[in-house]
A and B are shown apart, each in its own frame.
Chain A
Amino acid sequence: MSDTAEKVKKIVVEHLGVEEAKVTPEASFIDDLGADSLDTVELVMAFEEAFSVEIPDDAAEKITTVKDAIDYIEKQKGE
């Protein structure tokens, strides 16, 4: 697992208070990890802070799973 993936996983565990094992790449924040819409807003802000990236609202709306977050951040960091 990449550094980014590890870090994303850790942030999700902390912010949503879920077990690490549940945070699979396919896991949906809302459907599988018990987040509501405000939780996802806060999660995206935590990603921005941790990775020093800007995630605009229209991009944030498309980040619904753990993998979506990892892919988006890695793409931003790669550029």
Chain B
Amino acid sequence: MFQNGFSPRRVVVTGMGIACPLGLGVEHVWKRMLAGESGIGSIQSFDTTTLPAKIAGQIPTGVKADGRLDINEWIPVKDQKKMDRFIQFALVAAAEAVEDSGWVPPDEEARCRTGVMIGSGIGGLETIHEAAQLAVSGKAKRISPFFIPSALINLASGQVSIKYGFKGPNHSVVTACATGVHALGDAARLISLGDAEVMVAGGAEAAVCELGVAGFCAARALSTAFNDTPAAASRPWDEGRDGFVMGEGAGVLVLEELEHAKARGAKIYAEVIGYGMSGDAYHITAPAEGHEGAFRAMKAALASANITPADIQYVNAHGTSTPLGDDLELEAVERLFGDDARNVAMSSTKSAIGHLLGAAGAVEGIFSILAIRDKVAPPTLNLEKPSRESAIDRVALQAQPRNINIALSNSFGFGGTNASIVFRAAP
């Protein structure tokens, strides 16, 4: 986890929770993903008539027993108005992750050694939209006292800590689409450095709303050519790709110091062995030439893990399905792997669920860990004709059994922020 020979405490993953366009529940979502199902559909939650993009990945509604979301099953009605949907998603994913980990701090000292770091790229956008409408119609006085705590990004961490009594470091990451990886990596480092024994970490996003879609449309970032065939819209590396598809949801992981996890007999999914970051210092939305920032983030992650590219069997790509970004990331990964490129599999799970922005890195971290657990690379859907050939197997259309022991996951964000994280099979 650290460079320069510093020997830190080891960090493992002991719990995972997910709410995404393929539904709720890690096993349910993973099964659907390996089966090649798509969570992308037409937007029903608001009128898209005037918008060029009319599709997104939204969490399916319905009962929990079917792997669907009815928020009334999770959060009392009177509390729902106190939190934007991104916070609600965080609570849903955190509930699964915490239960899965079996971690219940036995005393005050243990509560104080358990922290939360759940970020978001955008936060309570829909809540801000609603409050702004009151303001422009001269009703600013009618704005709810819950407006600010509902919209603030760190309130995801705040609400989770309040629900469970986790009194350790309470922190939040805001780095656009790199948020999820930064949250996992930073939380793992807090444990390594001794600030906590357990961190509940991840990302949440609920920007599939009128302002969110309109904003990304204006930036010409979204797919608009597949409004009638939503499941075909997210097609990383395919020559027909024309932008990303927005997704919503949350991914939350319970990270824990290795000896702490062993001492309580916790189930261990994987170890966080590497983490690297970089900045492009180039452009507000476009990646730098050759995605050299991504290259440096990956290189730093490998250095901190003290491994070489030959040690990695699977890469979960940022792969958003944008014309520019996908091939640049591919170029950077090829450059990193060199002759080892032919031995690695790389897929983009965004092909099935869209781009969950600040939640992407967290849910993709979960997919990377499951790829290690089950020795299978999840597919890149819709990759029918790659825009360019590569020695790297991009797991087109169907999941592939692979002997995966170490996986790397990438996330890059607007502003030129890049983060990579490395997981290894449980020690």
Contact = CB atoms under 8 A, between A and B. Distances in A.
Chain B associates with chain A: yes
Contacts of A45: 142, 144-145
B78 interface: yes
B76 interface: yes
Interface residues of B, number: 10
A42 interface: yes
Contacts, number: 18
A38 interface: yes
Contact of A42 (B76, B77, B79, B145): B145
A42 B78 contact: no
A17 B76 contact: yes
A17 B142 contact: no
Contact of B145 (A16, A17, A41, A49): A41
Interface residues of A, number: 8
A71 to B, nearest CB: 23
Contacts of B77: 17
A15 interface: yes
Interface in B56-100: 76-79, 82
A42 B77 CA distance: 15
B146 A38 contact: yes
A46 to B, nearest CB: 10
B82 to A, nearest CB: 8
Task: Identify which of B77, B144, B145, B149 gathers the most chain A CB atoms within 10 Å of its CB.
Answer: B145
B78 A49 contact: no
A15 B78 contact: yes
A38 B144 CA distance: 9
A17 B77 CA distance: 7
A14 to B, nearest CB: 8
B78 A38 contact: no
A7 to B, nearest CB: 18
A41 B146 CA distance: 10
A42 B141 CA distance: 11
Contacts of A41: 145
A16 B76 CA distance: 10
B78 A17 contact: yes
A16 B142 CA distance: 18
Nearest to A40: B145
Interface string B123-153: 0000000000000000000101110010000
B79 to A, nearest CB: 8
A45 B144 CA distance: 8
Interface string B347-373: 000000000000000000000000000
B401 to A, nearest CB: 50
Interface string B104-124: 000000000000000000000
A43 B77 CA distance: 15
B142 A38 contact: no
B72 to A, nearest CB: 11
Contacts of B78: 15-17
B20 to A, nearest CB: 28
A38 B146 CA distance: 7
A79 B88 CA distance: 44
A19 B276 CA distance: 52
A38 B150 CA distance: 12
Nearest to A16: B78
A44 to B, nearest CB: 10
A20 B223 CA distance: 50
Interface string A24-56: 000000000000001001100100010000000
17 contacts: A15-B78, A16-B78, A17-B76, A17-B77, A17-B78, A17-B79, A38-B82, A38-B145, A38-B146, A38-B149, A41-B145, A42-B144, A42-B145, A42-B146, A45-B144, A45-B145, A49-B142
Given A16-B78, A17-B79, A45-B142, 15 more contacts: A15-B78, A17-B76, A17-B77, A17-B78, A38-B82, A38-B145, A38-B146, A38-B149, A41-B145, A42-B144, A42-B145, A42-B146, A45-B144, A45-B145, A49-B142
Which A-B residue pairs are the 5 nearest by beta carbons?
A: A17-B78, A41-B145, A38-B145, A42-B145, A17-B76
